[in-house]
Structures are given as structure tokens and as C-alpha cells.
Amino acid sequence: MPLIELQHTGYIKKELPNSFVKIGLSLLVIGIALGILSYIFEPARAVYGYLTSFIFLVTIGIGSLFLVALEYVAGAVWSVPFRRIAEFFSSIIPFLIILIIPLFFGMNNLFTWTHPNVVAKDVILQKKEMYLNIPFFIIRSIVILLLWSLFYFLITRNSRKQDFNGEQNLTSRNIKLSAVFILIFAFTISIFSFDWLMSMEPHWYSTIFGVYLFADAVWVSFAVLTLSSVILYQKGYLTNKIKKDHFYSLGTWMFAFTIFWAYIAFSQYMLQWYGNLPEEIIYYTNRWYGPWKAFSLGLVIAHFIVPFLILLPRRSKTNFAILKFAAIWIIVVQFYDAYWLVMPEMINNGFKYNFSLWDFTFPIAAVGLIIFLFGRMVKKYNLFPIGDPKLKRTFEFYL
């Protein structure tokens, strides 16, 4: 794409160095190779490790698209300079349709309800069989990913087209699309969380488990957006008309969803602890005894207390070094959380759990995929939505 320079934006299109894409591709190849080895040596464990990284990618991909949709529906002005970055990270979504295929072949290791002999002895699973059966499960998963991909293509296509024609009606179309997407997203993220996470312990249930995964997705998506935006701004890839007030808003949202996650996590735990019903507390007892007690306490500290204290002072939200540290911390802790959601179920499904370095093979591939896709998107499209009608107002934004 030719060099673009617009005086009213102060934006100059710059190419990311080729080494950026190569780093992402290298990590992806290394992660895949190590992942294949993990399947060879510990096939059952590898499925759980793969699901952990898949959940990590889902939260970043769908969370980023939610941020894009939220900006359109809310008519937000401050976030316009960062929207295209969120669009690029949401490019993960179509690839999830391919990445989910290995999980379909590992369902027997992940879910006890896939075993007819287990269902035949379990009255509760028999009552849930109309919903928890392999064909319907696969259909639901594919339909959800196709819906997410459809809205990704429609919303991002209009956004990119606007770079060349500046038509305001494209914004109106995306507002309508985003409103529909948010409704569908609220429904589908719950189904997805019930299917791929909650049904690993099919006797347990929580009506707000979907909200828990939603909180994770938005939290980590703001962190990824903040980290990349700060780095790109410091390297001169974003216009210098962006003010610290814009970055303050990013820090505020990370802080807000740190608290929101804690509220949802505590609400779910408190209600089930208070009820003290066997079918409800089993989820937490599995994560409180043995090696998981320290891990669960660590989650509270890492997911809430640390980011809360880091982001609480006002000055931390405008200090680039602190913002980058907080964002990296949140991204790492999101994988920690995904690990906590998935790996304890190994014991319930008859597999021995012990800490293994094989668990960190697929995260290498996941990080590599994110970097590779982002680099490719930057080379192909503008990093800045130069045709957005709210562009002029975004540079007048003050807190």
C-alpha cells in the first residue's frame, strides 16, 4: 500500500520491520513442533494444554471484537485511534475454526459425558444427554465460531473501506451490526463457556460462568490493546496528536475490569460456598486441595490484588512504563486463569496431574500466532482509521 500522509490526522503509514513477522512465525513454528512432541509423549495432557491455549486465544480474539463493537454502539470518541489495533487482534477469530478441530478429536479425554458407559451409570448425565452429546456439541461450537467470524468480516470490512471513501454511512452500518453482535455475543460466549469449560465437570453448574469468561476476555483485550498501543506510539507508528488522556482511559478500563472480574469471581464463589451443595462446591473443592490450593490463592493475588494496586494511582495510568508492565502482567495472568479453569479437570477425568513444562508448548505457538497475524494486518491495512468521521473530535478529547 502506498505511503499515506494526511495533515488533519498527522498520520504517516509506516511499515513494521520484517523481523517482527518473522519472530511471530518462528514462535508459531517452534510452538507447533513442541506441541506435536507433547502429543506424542503425553497425549492426554496435551489435549488439556491445547485447550488452555485455545481459551487464551478465544478471550483475546472475541474480546477485541467486542471492544470494536462497543465503541460503535457507545459512540465513543477517545478510542478511535486504537480501534484498528483491536480490529487486528480480532483477526484471530476466523482461525479459531481451524484451531478447534484438534479439540474435537480429544473430546473423549476432556469430557466424561462422551463415554457411554459413564452416562449409563449416571442419572444426571442421562438427563443432560439431549444437550451434552457429541454431534450437537460440535454443531454448536462451529455455529458460534462462524457467527463470530461473520461479524468480524462485516465490521472490519466497513471500517477498512472507510479509509478510502470516508463515507459516514459505513459508520451507521457498523453501529447496527455492532448492536446485533453484542446481543449475539452475550448469548454465545455463555454457551461457549458452558460447553468447553463448565461441562468438563458436568455435575457442576453456575449461571454466571459466561460472565466470568466475558470479564476475562474484555480484561485481557484491554491489556493487549494497551501494550501494543503504547509501544506503537513510542515507536512513532501512531500520530503524535494522541494525548496521555487517551492512554489514561485505557489504564482506567484495565483497572475497572480488574474489579469487575473480582466481583464476578467472588459472587460465584460466595453463593456456592453459602449454599454448600455437593453438586456446586465440587468445582471449588477440586481447586482447593492438593497442589491447587496455592495455585488458587495465587490467582486471587495475581488476578486482583496486584493489578488493583498497580493501576489504582492516577499517575500510573499515564506512565507508559507502568502501563506496559500492568498490561504484560494481565496477559500472563490471563493464561494463568485459563490454566486454572482447565487443568484441575485432569484429575476428575482419571488422569494424574503433575506440573509439566509440556503445558507451556502451546502458549509459545499462541503468542507466535498473535504476533504473526498482527504483523500481517499492519502490512496490509492502515494502522489508523483515517476515514472515521469522529477522527477530528478524538484529538480534542480531554479528561
Task: For residue range 274-294, list pLDDT tens digits in order.
Answer: 888 887 888 898 888 877 899
What's the confidence (pLDDT) of residue 13? 63
CB 188 within 8 A of CB 148: yes
Q: What is the DSSP secondary structure assignment for residue 208, as one 8-state letter?
A: T
pTM for this prediction: 0.94
Band (366; pLDDT cuts 50, 70, 90): very high
The closest of 95, 110, 16, 61 to 224, measured between CA atoms, is: 61
Band (316; pLDDT cuts 50, 70, 90): very high
Q: Is the pLDDT of residue 66 over 70?
A: yes
Domain count, the chain: 1
Q: Is the pLDDT of residue 1 over 60?
A: no
Number of other CB atoms surrounding residue 28 within 10 Å:
20
What's the confidence (pLDDT) of residue 278? 80
Calculate ∠ Cα 188-192-198, nearest 5°. Answer: 135
Number of other CB atoms surrounding residue 108 within 10 Å:
13
**Residues facing residue 6 across a β-bridge:** 11
Q: Is the pLDDT of residue 310 over 90?
A: yes
Domain limits for position 164: 5-394
Q: Is the pLDDT of residue 3 over 50?
A: no
Band (147; pLDDT cuts 50, 70, 90): very high
CB 14 within 8 A of CB 237: yes
- Residue 308's SS3 state is helix
- Residue 5's SS3 state is strand
What's the confidence (pLDDT) of residue 4? 39
What's the confidence (pLDDT) of residue 10? 56
Q: pLDDT digits over 167-199, tens only? A: 889 999 999 999 999 999 999 999 999 999 999
What's the confidence (pLDDT) of residue 399? 56
Cell readout for 282 is 465440587
| CA distances, 134 to each of 43, 116, 195, 260 (Å) | 20, 11, 11, 34
Which one of 91-95, 159-163, 384-388 scores highest in mean pLDDT? 91-95
Residue 280 lies in a domain: yes
Q: Is the pLDDT of residue 5 over 50?
A: no
Amino acid at the residue 128: K
Residue 326 lies in a domain: yes
What's the confidence (pLDDT) of residue 371? 96
Q: Which residues contact 221 (CB under 8 A, 6 or more apart)?
A: 59, 60, 63, 64, 66, 67, 86, 89
How many Cα atoms within 13 Å fall on the side-chain side of residue 209? 20
Q: Is the pLDDT of residue 2 over 50?
A: no
Calculate ∠ Cα 109-149-163, nearest 5°. Answer: 150
CB 73 within 8 A of CB 175: yes
Share of the chain above pLDDT 90, in %: 71
What's the confidence (pLDDT) of residue 357? 81
pLDDT mean over 244-273:
94
Residue 314's H or E segment, with its range, is: none
Residue 101 lies in a domain: yes
Q: Is the pLDDT of residue 273 over 60?
A: yes
Band (14; pLDDT cuts 50, 70, 90): low
Q: What is the DSSP secondary structure assignment for residue 11, as one 8-state letter?
A: E
Residue pointed to by grid coordinates 460472565: 211
Q: What is the DSSP secondary structure assignment for residue 42, as one 8-state letter?
A: -
Q: Which residue has the higher pLDDT, 176 or 43?
A: 176
Band (303; pLDDT cuts 50, 70, 90): very high
Share of the chain above pLDDT 70, in %: 94
CA atoms of 25 and 31, how far apart (whole Å): 10
CA atoms of 193 and 178, how far apart (whole Å): 21
CB 81 within 8 A of CB 384: yes
Band (65; pLDDT cuts 50, 70, 90): very high
What's the confidence (pLDDT) of residue 388? 87
Kindly report which listed range (277-286, 311-320, 388-397) carries the lowest average pLDDT score.
388-397
What's the confidence (pLDDT) of residue 9? 55
- Residue 214's SS3 state is helix
Band (7; pLDDT cuts 50, 70, 90): very low
What mean pLDDT, rounded, does the chain reach? 91
- Residue 12's SS3 state is strand
Q: Is the pLDDT of residue 265 over 80?
A: yes
Helices (H), the chain: 18-41, 43-74, 80-89, 92-99, 101-105, 107-110, 116-120, 123-127, 134-165, 169-196, 209-234, 244-275, 278-285, 292-300, 306-311, 320-342, 345-348, 361-380, 391-394
Q: How far apart are the first and last CA of the chain?
A: 35
The closest of 363, 384, 113 to 246, measured between CA atoms, is: 384
Calculate ∠ Cα 177-187-174, nearest 5°. Answer: 10
Q: Is the pLDDT of residue 262 over 50?
A: yes
Residue 399 lies in a domain: no
Cell readout for 308 is 488493583
What's the confidence (pLDDT) of residue 398? 62
